[in-house]
Amino acid sequence: GENVEQHPSTLSVQEGDSAVIKCTYSDSASNYFPWYKQELGKRPQLIIDIRSNVGEKKDQRIAVTLNKTAKHFSLHITETQPEDSAVYFCAGGSDKIIFGKGTRLHILP
């Protein structure tokens, strides 16, 4: 069945450094890959998404890259700030959206 794998499960980076979270997917028919941020006790919120007709998308300090051949996509956060601390989920799928298990990102002062 469809599967989305996400790594790492936990990531700690120094404030100001970059963070990278990686995901792989199994369904080659997938063509939409959103990323969600979930702060403690709150709902997941979309932060960026990418469709299969592009290889990269950027929004200020956040960027996502997609490699359809290898079936993997990554989230890049540059110049990290304390408010970036949260759990991040990748997702993908063709007939329904499946989420990765999440990455808990800690920004260290």
Partner 1 sequence: GAGVSQSPSNKVTEKGKDVELRCDPISGHTALYWYRQSLGQGLEFLIYFQGNSAPDKSGLPSDRFSAERTGGSVSTLTIQRTQQEDSAVYLCASSLGTGVNQPQHFGDGTRLSIL
52: left (phi over 0), alpha (psi -120 to 50) or beta: alpha
Looking at the Cβ atoms of 44 and 63, the one nearer to partner 1 is 44
Is 83 near partner 1 (CB under 8 A)? Answer: no
Query: Which of helix, strand or coil describes residue 83?
Result: helix
Task: Mark the segment that binds partner 1 (CB under 8 A) among 18-26, 62-70, 78-86, 94-102.
Answer: 94-102
Q: Least Å distance between CB 57 and partner 1? A: 13
CB atoms within 10 A of CB 28: 10
Is 7 near partner 1 (CB under 8 A)? Answer: no
How many chain residues bind partner 1 (CB under 8 A)? Answer: 23
Residues from 17 through 46 that contact partner 1 (CB under 8 A)? 31-32, 34, 36, 42-46
Cis peptide before 8 (omega within 30 of 0): yes
